A and B are shown apart, each in its own frame.
Chain A
Amino acid sequence: MAKQDLMLLEGDARIDAAATRLSMTRREFLQFCAVLATTLGLPQGADAAIAEAVAAKKRPSVIWLHFQECTGCTESLLRAEHPTLEKLILDVISLDYHETLFAAAGHQVEEARLKAMAEHKGQYVLVVEGAIPTRDGGIYCKIGGKTAIDLLKECATDAAAVIAIGSCASWGGMPSTDPNPTGASSASQVLGKPVVTIPGCPPNPYNFLSSVVHYLTFGALPAVDPLGRPKFAYSRLVHENCERRAHFDAGRFALEFGDDAHRHGFCLYKLGCKGPETYANCPTIQFGDMGAGTWPVGCGHPCIGCTEQGIGFQKPIHAVAKMKNIQPGVFLPGVIEQKGMGATLGSAAVLAAVAGVAIGAGARLTKNLGLSHKAEEMERAKKAGKASGESAEV
């Protein structure tokens, strides 16, 4: 059972051995595992589980296929910095076939692929980079005389898991843009089954790595959305976590590159930022390990929506995005808003008492109306009668 506490790994020789294998200090190794756990959004204790898994388990065999692509995904993975990931892809995983990184070529490489596939049958991870051309029998991309379609199907048959890295393998990407002359298709379209996708052009290497380490630690790929994207990385819009979001909410927008608002780092929505319709974790984990603010929007360029099918390479870069997830804010007033607290029982009672007194007094007053005049008249008549009587006597 995986350890849930780093303290339990204290003095564990396997951790030291793994750290040495990765050319790291023990501390750096544990930090690296914690970073992966955080990227995955895993709970406390997962860092220990990952450390133990990386240290103890046999490195999973990885076969990496390249089709219609620019190798940008591989390049971005090679440039990941913490730790030096060329160590990682060679030492945490066993990379048994990768056309870019292999020193060998031709039949030697194909032999290595077949050997790894036979040796780790049903256990290896297949990574697909690039779209698969399907038009005219898939003749537009061939490796070792085999079409991409055949190669993909062959390698996927005995794979434990298939990961499509990059937008090309995930949904067709740039090669699939209209008019799509080669019929470029995604890995899941060709295989006819859903695969885990890490879209992006290039994708963030940590999203890929975290998925692989998740597989290594827990024996399964992370939870994915209906498009096969790991939820830990692709469940929020770029707009939702963007560092420039406050400028959007305050209505401060750059209107032209280099204008005053642009220099002030205001929101890039009006320059065509696709953040409001693109699901990716770029604003939270950023890009290229160059420190704070180093991701496209942070550098002052609008997001082009490279992870999102129908947005990246489809919509013009500076065309305005369609806002997704519009929801009324919780503080927005309704059309008719209740104001005040309404009548309390006490105030109603006081009011009723006052009203009762007023009605009673009014009734009494009405009853007495005219009485005083009558009384006065009677008084006067009495006086007058008396006076006349007296005078008569005199």
Chain B
Amino acid sequence: MLSRRNFLKGCLAGGGSAVAALAPAPASARGNLTNPPGGLGLLYDATLCVGCQACVAACKEANHNPAEFKTADRLWDTPLDTTGHTFNVIKVYTNGTGETKDAEINGFSFMKTSCMHCADASCVSACPVSAMRKDPVTGIVTYDPDACLGCRYCVVACAFGIPKYQYDSPTGRIGKCELCHDRHKDGHYSACAEVCPTGATLFGRTVDLLAEARRRLALKPGETTTIPRGRLPYSDAEAEKASTWRKEPDQSYEVQAGRYVQHVYGETEYGGTQVLKLSAIEFEKVGMPALPAKSSASTSETIQHTLYQGMIMPIAVLGAMTWAARRNVSKDDKDSRGGES
């Protein structure tokens, strides 16, 4: 039999959980984070890529990463994907006979796989200790091994499968592209863009790169156009003059425009990424997932922050659990205790 006291306790706990369940979405619901205005990034154009993998080699060198062998003879650096020691990989899409470059049927296409430097990065959101951070000025998603506790939430969180853990080491770290930010102080930019022979990987400010990408999409296929290589200069002359990048001769050259899919990958995905991509083949087929404009980080953080706001959920859950526990305590214990007192 319920005592009067237990009944009232149960009412309180049930009422608490009902309040939690019915609470309106609070003001903490957050939208996508945005890139800083001067955010740096890359523009990868698959129609220009020749698959030479100079970028893969340069990335290894710049990040002091060892070669990874996937063949029996162990002669060549042959990573199958990004790993804790490989931050940049050129993957290949092939179909049928694989004869024609940038053809979806019986063709092939290259695709660069490296960090997209999202405006609203899932890895940054998932990291419990702020080892993953988005730089407020450059927008580069950086990793701090001293802060990292090795939980690998970032590995699971990333939609692109980029951060990877060094499982081969007892003191493993997370490995991922950081746009060679430690080379910037010497005037060097991302090694992959620095070495690219065809300008398929171009370094610059994301705003400028987006304008360049849109310019290319507007071209008729086969139309002669000038493609910059290495680093895309800032669109405003003042900022370019003030920048500290190493002076290089103009490397732009003429090519025939490719047959692009009319979409700049990274313009809207997850609220925008600082690395942008162009392709002649549908992005999903070359391994770039179709992502909504709303970032998963904003969704998950909205849910989490709502639930935990003012400790609502812990209190409600604790109340509900207490109520359930008290309810299920057998009454003969109570009665016997009551009898003893």
Contacts and interface: CB of A to CB of B under 8 A. Distances in A.
Interface of A: 248-253, 255-256, 267, 269-270, 319-320, 322-323, 326-329, 331-337, 339
A31 to B, nearest CB: 35
Given A332-B91, A333-B79, A255 B251 contact: yes
B64 to A, nearest CB: 16
A328 B92 contact: yes
B50 A323 contact: yes
B195 to A, nearest CB: 3
Given A253-B195, A328-B94, A335-B286, A248 B54 contact: yes
B249 A255 contact: yes
B54 A251 contact: yes
Contact of B92 (A251, A319, A322, A335): A335
Contacts of B52: 248-249, 251
Contacts of A256: 249
A253 B91 contact: no
A320 B199 CA distance: 11
A337 B80 contact: yes
B150 interface: no
Given A328-B94, A335-B285, A319 B254 contact: yes
Given A255-B249, A332-B92, A335-B286, A326 B51 contact: yes
Interface string B76-92: 10111100000001111
Most buried by A among B54, B57, B94, B285: B54
A322 to B, nearest CB: 7
Given A248-B52, A326-B51, A333 B80 contact: yes
A251 B197 contact: yes
Contact of A332 (B90, B229, B254): B90
B152 to A, nearest CB: 17
A306 to B, nearest CB: 21
B17 interface: no
B71 interface: yes
A319 B252 CA distance: 10
Interface string B274-287: 00000000000111
B27 to A, nearest CB: 42
B196 A333 contact: no
B165 interface: no
Contacts of B111: 335
A320 B79 CA distance: 30
Given A248-B52, A251-B195, A333 B253 contact: no
Contacts of A267: 197
B158 interface: no
Given A335-B111, A335-B285, A335-B287, 14 more contacts: A249-B52, A249-B54, A249-B57, A251-B194, A253-B195, A270-B197, A270-B251, A323-B198, A328-B94, A331-B76, A332-B53, A332-B91, A332-B92, A334-B93
Contacts of A255: 248-249, 251
List the 9 closest pairs (A to B, CB-CB), nearest first: A251-B195, A251-B54, A335-B287, A320-B253, A328-B92, A333-B80, A331-B78, A332-B92, A337-B80
A322 B255 contact: yes
Interface in B248-300: 248-249, 251, 253-255, 285-287
Contacts of A339: 80-81
B287 A336 contact: yes
A255 B250 CA distance: 9
Most buried by B among A248, A255, A319, A333: A333
A86 to B, nearest CB: 43
B111 to A, nearest CB: 7
B38 interface: no
A250 B51 CA distance: 12
Nearest to B330: A373
Given A319-B253, A329-B53, A333-B91, A248 B98 contact: no
B317 interface: no
Contacts of B133: none
A345 to B, nearest CB: 24
Interface string B233-259: 000000000000000110101110000
B183 to A, nearest CB: 15
B110 interface: yes
B232 interface: no
Nearest to A377: B332
B288 to A, nearest CB: 9
Nearest to B58: A251
21 contacts: A249-B52, A249-B54, A253-B195, A269-B197, A270-B197, A270-B229, A322-B255, A328-B94, A328-B98, A328-B108, A331-B70, A332-B53, A332-B90, A332-B110, A333-B89, A335-B91, A335-B92, A335-B93, A335-B111, A336-B287, A339-B81
A331 B92 CA distance: 10
Interface string B181-212: 00000000000001111100000000000000
A333 B55 CA distance: 15
Nearest to A269: B197
Nearest to B52: A249
A328 B111 CA distance: 11
Contacts of A336: 287
Interface string B41-60: 00000000011111101100
Contacts of B229: 270
A336 B285 CA distance: 10
Given A250-B58, A253-B197, A329 B80 contact: no
B101 interface: yes
Contacts of A249: 52-54, 57
Contacts of A334: 91-94
Contacts of B91: 332-335, 337
A320 B53 contact: no
Contacts of B248: 255
